[in-house]
Chains A and B, each alone.
Chain A
C-alpha cells in the first residue's frame, strides 16, 4: 500500500485531471451551442476527454521520473497531468496560443513537453514504436530510465503495436505498454473487433509479461505498475499492463453516442475511480475537510491555468512557416515564390 502522502498525490492528480476536463468542456462548448459547429468557439479542433480514465494515468506515472519517457494517444490530458506536464502551457496550446507548449502548432492531440519527456500523437498505436526507441536509447546509454506507451484497447489490433511488442521483448527493453481498456473504440465494442478478452494476453505470444487490473482502482494500478515499471528499470524487459477504465463521455465532444445503450453509459458513470480513491483516503484517516482541501488546491491550479492561457497572445500568422526544420536549408525559406511568366519576361504582355 502506498504511503498517505503518495495516496494524497495520486488523488490530487486525479481530481486535477477531472476538473481540468470539466472546465475544458465548458470552454469548448462556448459558441458551439445550440448548433454544434466544430470550427466555432474558443477551443479549436476535436477534443477527446479522458474522464473516467484517471486511475490508469496516475497509477503508472507516479512511478516515473522526469527522464522517463511517456507517449500518449489522442486522449492525453490525464496522462500529461500525471506525468507533470506544464499545465499552463498545455492549456495555452489547447487554446491555440503562441506561448503554448507547441506554439499553437500541435493542439490537444499533439502535445510535446520535452522537460518531462511527454509526447502524444493522433495516429492509433503509433506512440508505441517511439517508446520502444526511448527504451532502446536508455539501454544503449546504460541509464535506468524507462519508457511508457499508452494506448487504448482499440489500438491493440494495430500492426505497430505488435511489432513494438516483439522488438521490445527480443531486446529486453525497458518499456511498459499501458492499455487503457474503456470498452469502446469510438463506436466499436471490443467483441466486434477482437476475440481476445483482455489486452494483457497479447503478451503471451512474445514471451513477455502481461498484467491485468480489472477495475479502475488507482491503488491497484499503482501496485501493478510498481511491478511493471520496476521490471523495466531493473533491466528485465517489457510488460503489458492492461487497466479496465470507463469512458464517461462520448468518443469526442459532439459524439451523440447513439451506438451506446443508456445502461452502458450509466454503468460507466456509476463506477467512479475518484470515489473509489476517496474511500482509500478515508481508510487512511482523511476526512471531508482534508479531501476538500486537496480538491480546492487542484481546482485553483486548473482555474489559474485556464485564466492564464486565455490571456495569452494568439500566434502571428507568419509563424506558420517556422519550425518545419530545426536547421532550415538555406535558399528555400520562401515557400510561396511569386512566379509569373509575365513578370519573368516569358510570354508576357
Chain B
C-alpha cells in the first residue's frame, strides 16, 4: 500500500531528479525552468539540487535550444528540453521535425537522438488560440518521434523514466489542467498514489481505466477524467462504459482498443485536439481496419476545426466536456 499521493507535476519532477542523479549526462533546458521552477511546475526544486549547469535557463530562442538538444543528444547526452507551450512549436518546427525526428532515419540508423521534449498542452482557462492548443495529432502524425500523454501522477512518473531512458526522441505532452498547479485547479483524478522507487511504464500499452460492456470510450490526457465522470453518471442510467486511456500515441496500442470494441460494439473517441486529420480519425480507422464487423456505431467528440476562442462562452462551446461525452455515448447506444 502506497500511502503518499503526488500531483502530476511532483511525479514528473521526481522522475527527472532521479534520472539526473543516476546519470550525469541528463540535463534540462528551457525558459524559466531554473529560478521559476517551470511555469507549469515541471522543474520545481531541481535547481537547488543540480544548479544552473544542469537546470539551464535558456534565451527565448526555441530554434537554438531545441536544436542544441538534438546536437547534444547526437553526442550521446540525454537532454530534456522544455517548450513552454506546445503552441510555440511553430518558431522551431524545423529543429523538431526535420532534425530531431528525422536524423535517425536519414542516417540509416547510424545516429540516434535520445532526447525528451516536454511541453504543456490544453485549454479550459481562456488563454485563446495561441496558448490553448493540444496538438497531439501534429506530433503523432509526423514520423520519428514517440509521443507520450500521461493522465495521472502514477503514469506520469513511470512514463517519464521510460522517456529519459529511451534512445529515441520522445515528445512528452502534459496537460496544464492535470499538473496540480495552485492557480489552475486540477480535477481530483490525476493526483494518485506514487511509489518512491523508480519504475517504468512501457510505451504502447494503453490502460483500461474503467471496464464496461456497452460502449468503448477511447481518450487521453485531461479527457480521461472527463470520460470517467461521464461514465459514472451514465452508470446511474444503466449504461456500462469502458474507458481506455491511450497513454502513448506513438507507439499506439491499437490492440487494446480493437479488443474492447469487439466486446462492446460501440466506439466513442474523445480528443481535445482538432477533429479533422487527427487522432480521432486514426482511432476510428484502426477499428474499422481490424474490427469492422463488430462496429455498430461510432462517434467522435473533438475540438471542431476552429482556432480556440478567448471568451468563456465560446471556448466552452468548442471544448469537449463530460456532458458532450455523455451525449455521444447515448447517441451510439
CB proximity of B9 to chain A, nearest CB, Å: 16
Q: Which residues of B contact A336 (CB under 8 A)?
A: 275, 304
- Chain A 34-54 near chain B by CB (<8 Å), digits 1 or 0: 011111000011100000000
Q: Are B61 and A159 in contact (CB under 8 A)?
A: yes
The reply on A254 being an interface residue by CB < 8 A is yes
Contacts of B295 in A (CB 8 A): 341, 346-347
Q: Which of B308-327 contact A (CB under 8 A)?
A: 309-318
Q: Are B131 and A46 in contact (CB under 8 A)?
A: yes
Question: With A and B bound together, what is the CA distance between A320 and B32 in angstroms?
Answer: 33
* Residues of chain B within 8 A of A107, CB atoms compared: 126-128, 310-311
Contact of B304 among A44, A121, A321, A346 (CB under 8 A): A321
Task: Render A105-129 as a binary contact track against B, CB cut-off 8 A, 1 for contact.
Answer: 1110110000000000111111000
Closest to A109 in B: B128
* Nearest-Cβ distance from residue A179 to partner chain B, whole angstroms: 13
Interface size class of B (residues with CB under 8 A): 35 or more
Q: Which of A8-16, A64-72, A180-188, A206-214 lies at the interface with chain B? A: A180-188
Q: Is the CB of A188 within 8 A of B91?
A: no
Least Cβ–Cβ distance between A305 and chain B, in angstroms: 18
Q: Does B57 contact A (CB under 8 A)?
A: yes
Which of B34, B275, B296 has a CB less than 8 Å from the CB of A347?
Answer: B296
> Are A110 and B310 in contact, CB atoms less than 8 angstroms apart?
yes
Residue-by-residue, is B113-139 near A (CB-CB < 8 Å gives 1, otherwise 0)? Answer: 000000000001111111100000000
Is A155 close to B, CB under 8 A?
yes
Distance, CA A319 to CA B311, complexed state (A): 11
- A158 CB within 8 Å of chain B: yes
- For A159, list chain B residues within 8 Å (CB): 61, 63-64, 91
- Please provide the chain A residues from 300 to 349 with a CB less than 8 Å away from any CB of chain B in the complex: 314-321, 324, 335-336, 338-342, 346-349
Q: Which B residues touch A316, using CB under 8 A?
A: 313
Q: Does B298 contact A (CB under 8 A)?
A: yes
Q: Are the CB atoms of B125 and A45 closer together than 8 Å?
A: yes
Residue B78 CB within 8 A of the other chain: no
Decide: A317 and B88 in contact? CB cutoff 8 A: no
Q: B102-110, B145-153, B177-185, B239-247: which lies at the A interface? A: B177-185
Residue of chain A at shortest CB distance from B35: A259
Q: Is A84 an interface residue (CB 8 A)?
A: no
Q: Which of B35, B59, B304 contacts A193 (CB 8 A)?
A: B59
Asked if A45 and B307 sit within 8 Å, CB to CB, the answer is: no
Q: Counting CB contacts under 8 A, is A160 at the interface?
A: yes
Query: How many A residues are at the interface, by size bracket?
Result: 35 or more
A188 in contact with B183 (CB, 8 Å): no
Contact call A317/B331, Cβ cutoff below 8 A = no
B59 neighbours in A (Cβ, 8 Å)? 154, 157, 193-194
| Of listed A102, A186, A194, residue having the most chain B CB within 10 A | A186
Q: Which residues on the A side are within 8 Å of B304 (C-beta)? A: 320-321, 335-336
* B61, B184, B306, most chain A CB atoms within 10 A: B61
Check A104 for interface membership: any CB of B closer than 8 A.
Answer: yes
Cα(A154)–Cα(B84), bound, Å: 15
A181-225 contacts to B (CB < 8 Å): 185-188, 192-194
A-B interface pairs (CB < 8 A), number = 170
CB distance from B103 to the nearest CB of A (A): 20
User: Which of A35, A125, A315 is within 8 Å of B311, CB to CB?
Assistant: A315
B293 at the A interface (CB under 8 A): yes
Distance, CA A247 to CA B63, complexed state (A): 27
* Contact A121–B130 (Cβ < 8 Å): yes
Residue interface mask A88-111, B partner, CB < 8 A = 1: 000000001100001011110110
Return the chain B residue nearest A125 by Cβ: B60
- Complex CA gap A259/B60 in Å reads 18
A160 to B128, alpha carbons, bound, how many Å? 22
Complex: A305 Cα to B304 Cα, angstroms: 34
Quote the shortest CB–CB distance from A258 to chain B (angstroms): 8
Chain B residues within an 8 Å CB radius of A45: 125-128, 310
CB A126 to nearest CB in B, in angstroms, measures: 7
Chain A positions within 8 Å of B299 at CB level: 339-340
Contact of B293 among A96, A314, A347 (CB under 8 A): A347
The answer to whether A155 touches B60 (Cβ under 8 A) is yes
> What is the minimal beta-carbon distance from B64 to any residue of chain A, in angstroms?
8
Q: Is B235 an interface residue (CB 8 A)?
A: no
B130, A160: Cβ atoms closer than 8 Å: no
In the complex, what distance in Å separates the CA atom of A339 from the CA atom of B35?
50
For A126, list chain B residues within 8 Å (CB): 91
By a CB distance below 8 angstroms, the chain B residues around A254 are 183
Inter-chain contact A44/B296, CB cutoff 8 Å: no
Please tell me if the beta carbons of B310 and A96 are within 8 angstroms of each other in the complex. yes
Q: Which residue of B lies closest to A162 (CB)?
A: B61
Q: From residue B73, how far is it (CB to closest CB) to chain A in Å?
A: 21
Give A76 to B34 CA distance when docked, in angstroms: 27
**Any A CB within 8 A of the CB of B39:** yes
Contact A44 B331, beta carbon cutoff 8 Å: no
Residue of B nearest to A97 (CB): B311
Check if B331 sits within 8 Å of A104, measured CB to CB. no
Interface centre among B39, B129, B309 (most CB of A within 10 A): B309
**What's the Cα separation between A107 and B63 when bound, in Å?**
27
B297 at the interface (CB under 8 A from A): yes
Distance to closest chain A CB from B100 (angstroms): 17
- Judge if B332 is at the interface, Cβ distance under 8 Å: yes
Distance of A37 Cα from B332 Cα, bound (Å): 36
Q: Is residue B53 within 8 Å, beta carbon to beta carbon, of the partner chain?
A: no
In the assembled complex, the Cα of A346 lies from the Cα of B294 at a distance in Å of 11
**Which residue from B32, B130, B314 sits with its C-beta under 8 Å from A104?**
B314
Residues of chain A lying within 8 A (CB to CB) of residue B34: 187
Contact of A36 among B183, B311, B315 (CB under 8 A): B183
How far apart sit A200 and B283, CA to CA, in the bound complex (Å)?
52
20 A–B pairs (Cβ distance < 8 Å), ordered by A: A38-B184, A39-B125, A44-B310, A46-B127, A96-B310, A104-B313, A105-B311, A107-B127, A122-B131, A123-B91, A124-B88, A187-B35, A259-B35, A317-B317, A318-B317, A320-B306, A321-B304, A339-B299, A339-B300, A341-B297
List 5 A-B pairs, minimum CB-CB distance, nearest first: A44-B126, A107-B310, A104-B311, A96-B311, A157-B59
